[in-house]
Chains A and B, each alone.
Chain A
Amino acid sequence: MIPAQRIRADTRYVIQLPEPDDFGFWRERARALVQCDVPPDRIAWVEPGGSGDLFGRSDLRVPSPPADAPQIRVSRRFLQLAKNAALHSDPERFALLYRLLWRHQTNGRVMEDKADNDVRRLEDLDRSVRRDSHKMHAFVRFRVVEDEGVEGSGDEHYVAWFEPDHHIVRANAGFFVRRFANMKWSILTPRLSLHWDGEIMREGPAAERGDAPAGDPAEDLWRKYYASIFNPARLKVGAMLKEMPRKYWKNMPEAALIPELVAGAQQRESTMVDAGTLEFEERPETLAAIDKAIHACRKCPIGELDNHAVMGEGPLGAALMIVGEQPGDQEDQSGRPFVGPAGQLLDVHLERAGLDRDKAYVTNTVKHFKYVQRGKRRLHQSPNAKEIDTCRWWVESERAIVQPKLVLAMGASAARGMLGKTVSITKARGTPQMLEDGSELWITAHPSYLLRLDGEAREKQERLFDADLAAVAQRLAEMADS
């Protein structure tokens, strides 16, 4: 080494790095050069394979600093970033590092000046190396080597092929050791290869893609998972490409599916919607529109029977909405709700409670008559839960337009139509419930239930029914007052 005193002011230095990612080597040489006061423009940093003869006449030896050389000033932030930036494939990286180290000697806080071009470049290098490492952690795909041990036995060998952008492989070996400590694995790259046998890490020479296995039995499962977890209703190809650029695709078994998944997404989404059989778009805005639409409604099997839809009737803005189950034989023929035997019984009880049917909006949960043909007669059949849920759309639309303050649901079907769940009439009657729009829901029995009873049971149920109606009447009066 040349003593520092004899360094000539125009001597140029070429520093050959033994490995492209040898940060420790750079740090030692850079420290000596700064201490000998060698400015950045007189040093060329050359990595293996690079050209060494940039200056023509140059000195390959690093000067040894004088004994009283000043302490090197460096910030922690710089060291943090420099370790990563040294792994970048940019051939200028070591010169940039030296330049910043040099500038530290006069300005120890140079790293804080985020608008400085050198500082920004260093941060960019650091960021792309971190991203590359992160992508390596994410996109390395191991394939088990066939004929080398049985899966789960601990002696099978997993091999991956990966193509990083920067010199990051060695620096990231630790991540894979910590994660797969008890597995035998190799990561092959065009720069070098790593081999872990469960105890010791060995390094090997550069490899080729053909050195890694071509497939793995678990890949079919993985591809099936990838295709199934994707939601075709929300295609965002740009977001995917940003995080998983095409350059990685060739080494990821699942990526082969992407073009097909994207192309099929629209198709799959419309199938998903069609499979629901229900595709109501906008809520109808007038009762007339509902009336028209329910006649054409075939959303459930009841609509396919030989019958006619029966629309509710009553004034717009009625304070009371009365909801029954479904039209019966006579309603179906006349096209009006509650005109058959149950309707007549309802009229009697309404009058007894002092409620004016003409001022209420009267309708049904299910719009069509469900029946089975027995000879000439059409026998009433209760709608099932699915049919009620399907038809809820219409009665809810009516409610949204009429905007009653109080809804009286008669029978279990009507209660389900209002609440979306099945409730027990015995438990629910007598106590109002708040609906989403702030109106009150009262639940009582259906008048046709009273028709099926006789004797004492009927008297008891009629009393309960009257009590419910009376409570509704009283509540309506209170609402009118307030």
Chain B
Amino acid sequence: MAQLSVIERLEILADAAKYDASCASSGTAKKNSIGGKGIGSTEGMGICHAYAPDGRCISLLKILLTNHCIFDCHYCINRKSSNVRRAKFTPQEVADLTISFYRRNYIEGLFLSSGIVKSSDHTMEQMIETARILREEYDFRGYIHLKTIPEADPQLTYRAGLYADRVSINVELPTDAGLTRLAPDKNSRQIEGAMGGVKDSIAEAKDARKRFRHAPRFAPAGQSTQMIVGADAASDADIVGKASRLYDSFGLRRVYYSAFSPIPDASAVLPLKRPPLIREHRLYQSDWLMRFYGYNPGEVMQATGDDGNLPLDIDPKLAWALKFRESFPLDVNRAPREMLLRVPGLGVRAVNQIIAARRHRTLRLDDVGKLTVSVTKVRPFIIAADWRPTTLTDRADLRSLLAPKQEQLELFAA
């Protein structure tokens, strides 16, 4: 077979990487290129250098080293039995491409993943070599995210963390049964074991840096994972439960959800209809509720319907509020912060502003309106100096009053 050109291989290997949801480049240690020989900086906040028409941020050069794979995971376009065009890059080629893009300010860095060639260890070594060339030969100080392979030697995962800002290991599916069925070569205990190992290395490196200024950093932007939604029968309650266990046990920065999307040459085990994209959106909202709004996983699960799934027509916070109407209305001039955070339509920013502003004046509905996006959504759940929702929370049709119109939903479903 004739060797494909760099641009042809970039097309194949970027196309194969697009199913990874994460493109974050934030939350790492501050670095810059002053005083060095190369380029690159990270200043805490990630930067999205472009947005694709799918609405997703393009922050990193997100590619696979190769899409050859000896594994046969049914949901994956690169599985052994899939009939896709295959290509591979050398570590040097990926490093050169990264630098060439970085110099033109197209990207924040590299997100490297790979199919498994020869063995997990061999593949992992190739990925580490890419990161090593960037860090040592180019003195690259931008962002590197390595998707590590749970089946590889823990020593290799450790080396990856020394070069990378973030490492991630995908749990792939929310249930063990789903994993056994759809990813026969993977094993959930091995995946979680690897995540545990990364967690320990991060903690050790942090601890060492407290005592020795020059102790090596290990994945300063932490670790994350990704779960595929809608490829197996797991309900939203299962997924939320799994995510919160992962956050607790492995100190993850993020759990990404990827709505299963049709892949070319799909395996027959996956003859599924695409789950509505809005489902992925609702899961992210529930993730936010747990991370920023003080909900515990049990409370998010209370917002699910009888089938264990979050309602698609309204957001999980509103769903929870409608189920627990007796907790409302809340007085914006008196209620504690943690309760105000439960008012549908009030974000963290709005709540902080309400708390600050009410020290200076007694808030009227008009004042609340200035601090929120839509006072109509908030109104039924709050009391202000000049406002009391007399019967609103008792109305049976409150849900339909507050749910967005159906036409709007269709936009998401596209």
* Cβ contacts under 8 Å, B401 to chain A: none
Q: CA of A140 to CA of B105 in the docked complex: distance in angstroms?
A: 7
Question: Which of A112, A115, A281 has most chain B Cβ within 10 Å?
Answer: A115
The answer to the question of A247 belonging to the interface, with a C-beta cut-off of 8 Å to chain B, is no
B104 A221 Cβ-Cβ under 8 A: no
Q: CA of A321 to CA of B10 in the docked complex: distance in angstroms?
A: 48
Tell me whether A114 and B54 are in contact in the complex, defined as CB-CB below 8 angstroms, given that A273-B262, A392-B269 are known contacts: no
Contact of A182 among B12, B36, B182, B361 (CB under 8 A): B36
A177 B39 Cβ-Cβ under 8 A: no
The answer to the question of B277 belonging to the interface, with a C-beta cut-off of 8 Å to chain A, is yes
A-B contact pairs, 7 of them (CB 8 A): A228-B12, A234-B259, A235-B414, A238-B55, A239-B55, A278-B268, A389-B74
A393 B268 Cβ-Cβ under 8 A: yes
B50 A244 Cβ-Cβ under 8 A: yes
* Cβ contacts under 8 Å, A254 to chain B: 50
Tell me whether A436 and B104 are in contact in the complex, defined as CB-CB below 8 angstroms, given that A138-B49, A228-B14 are known contacts: no
Tell me whether A183 and B103 are in contact in the complex, defined as CB-CB below 8 angstroms, given that A229-B52, A240-B51 are known contacts: yes
Smallest CB-CB A-B distances: 7 pairs: A239-B55, A236-B55, A421-B184, A280-B271, A178-B32, A276-B266, A230-B52
Nearest to B363 among chain A residues (CB) is A115
Contact of A181 among B39, B48, B354 (CB under 8 A): B39
Q: CA of A236 to CA of B99 in the docked complex: distance in angstroms?
A: 30
The answer to the question of A374 belonging to the interface, with a C-beta cut-off of 8 Å to chain B, is no
Nearest to A390 among chain B residues (CB) is B268
* Cβ contacts under 8 Å, A139 to chain B: 49-50
The answer to the question of B11 belonging to the interface, with a C-beta cut-off of 8 Å to chain A, is yes
A280 to chain B minimum Cβ distance, whole angstroms, is 3
**From residue 222 to 257 of chain A, which have CB atoms closer than 8 A to chain B?**
222, 224-240, 243-244, 252, 254-255
The answer to the question of B265 belonging to the interface, with a C-beta cut-off of 8 Å to chain A, is yes
The answer to the question of B370 belonging to the interface, with a C-beta cut-off of 8 Å to chain A, is yes
Question: Which of B49, B55, B180 has most chain A Cβ within 10 Å?
Answer: B55
Tell me whether A175 and B38 are in contact in the complex, defined as CB-CB below 8 angstroms, given that A226-B52, A239-B55 are known contacts: no
Contact of B184 among A144, A243, A390, A419 (CB under 8 A): A419
Q: CA of A226 to CA of B370 in the docked complex: distance in angstroms?
A: 39
Contact of B100 among A114, A115, A151 (CB under 8 A): A151
Q: CA of A271 to CA of B265 in the docked complex: distance in angstroms?
A: 10
* Cβ contacts under 8 Å, B268 to chain A: 278, 299, 389-393
What is the size category of the interface that chain B forms with chain A? 35 or more
Residues of B within 8 A of A (CB): 6-7, 10-12, 14-15, 17-19, 32-41, 43, 45, 47-58, 61-63, 72, 74, 81, 97, 99-101, 103-106, 177-178, 180-182, 184-185, 232-233, 259, 261-269, 271, 273-274, 277, 353-354, 356-357, 359-361, 363, 367, 370-371, 411-412, 414
The answer to the question of A218 belonging to the interface, with a C-beta cut-off of 8 Å to chain B, is yes
The answer to the question of A377 belonging to the interface, with a C-beta cut-off of 8 Å to chain B, is no
* B-binding segment of A17-25, A258-266, A403-411: A258-266
A101 to chain B minimum Cβ distance, whole angstroms, is 18
Task: Other than A179-B41, A435-B177, give 18 A-B pairs with Cβ distance below 8 A.
Answer: A113-B356, A141-B105, A144-B104, A158-B103, A180-B103, A182-B33, A218-B104, A228-B18, A229-B15, A231-B54, A233-B274, A236-B412, A272-B264, A280-B271, A390-B268, A393-B268, A420-B269, A421-B72
Q: CA of A436 to CA of B232 in the docked complex: distance in angstroms?
A: 10
Nearest to B81 among chain A residues (CB) is A386
* Cβ contacts under 8 Å, B371 to chain A: 114-115
A112 B103 Cβ-Cβ under 8 A: no
Contact of B361 among A115, A160, A180 (CB under 8 A): A115
Q: CA of A220 to CA of B11 in the docked complex: distance in angstroms?
A: 11
**From residue 164 to 195 of chain A, which have CB atoms closer than 8 A to chain B?**
175, 177-183
B55 A229 Cβ-Cβ under 8 A: no
* Cβ contacts under 8 Å, A269 to chain B: 262
A243 B57 Cβ-Cβ under 8 A: yes
B353 A114 Cβ-Cβ under 8 A: yes
The answer to the question of A424 belonging to the interface, with a C-beta cut-off of 8 Å to chain B, is no
Nearest to B184 among chain A residues (CB) is A421
Tell me whether A436 and B51 are in contact in the complex, defined as CB-CB below 8 angstroms, given that A183-B39, A234-B277, A281-B273 are known contacts: no
B356 A225 Cβ-Cβ under 8 A: no
* Cβ contacts under 8 Å, A261 to chain B: 52-53
* Cβ contacts under 8 Å, B63 to chain A: 225
Nearest to B14 among chain A residues (CB) is A228
Nearest to A113 among chain B residues (CB) is B360
* Cβ contacts under 8 Å, A13 to chain B: none
* Cβ contacts under 8 Å, A142 to chain B: 103-105
B267 A389 Cβ-Cβ under 8 A: yes
Q: CA of A198 to CA of B43 in the docked complex: distance in angstroms?
A: 20
B10 A236 Cβ-Cβ under 8 A: no
A393 to chain B minimum Cβ distance, whole angstroms, is 5
B46 to chain A minimum Cβ distance, whole angstroms, is 10
* Cβ contacts under 8 Å, A243 to chain B: 48, 51, 57
* Cβ contacts under 8 Å, A252 to chain B: 50
The answer to the question of A298 belonging to the interface, with a C-beta cut-off of 8 Å to chain B, is no
A109 B360 Cβ-Cβ under 8 A: yes
The answer to the question of A378 belonging to the interface, with a C-beta cut-off of 8 Å to chain B, is no
Tell me whether A160 and B370 are in contact in the complex, defined as CB-CB below 8 angstroms, given that A228-B15, A234-B261 are known contacts: no
Tell me whether A224 and B11 are in contact in the complex, defined as CB-CB below 8 angstroms, given that A182-B39, A231-B18, A436-B181 are known contacts: yes
**From residue 129 to 167 of chain A, which have CB atoms closer than 8 A to chain B?**
134, 137-144, 151-152, 158, 160
* Cβ contacts under 8 Å, A267 to chain B: none
Tell me whether A114 and B356 are in contact in the complex, defined as CB-CB below 8 angstroms, given that A221-B97, A244-B50, A436-B233 are known contacts: yes
A126 to chain B minimum Cβ distance, whole angstroms, is 13
* Cβ contacts under 8 Å, A220 to chain B: 7
Tell me whether A225 and B14 are in contact in the complex, defined as CB-CB below 8 angstroms, given that A113-B360, A142-B104, A179-B32 are known contacts: yes
* Cβ contacts under 8 Å, B32 to chain A: 178-179, 181
B357 A393 Cβ-Cβ under 8 A: no
* Cβ contacts under 8 Å, A151 to chain B: 100, 103
Tell me whether A218 and B101 are in contact in the complex, defined as CB-CB below 8 angstroms, given that A276-B265, A389-B267 are known contacts: yes
* Cβ contacts under 8 Å, A180 to chain B: 33, 39, 103
B357 A114 Cβ-Cβ under 8 A: yes
B50 A115 Cβ-Cβ under 8 A: no
* Cβ contacts under 8 Å, B356 to chain A: 112-114
* Cβ contacts under 8 Å, B40 to chain A: 179
A278 B266 Cβ-Cβ under 8 A: yes
* Cβ contacts under 8 Å, B353 to chain A: 114-115
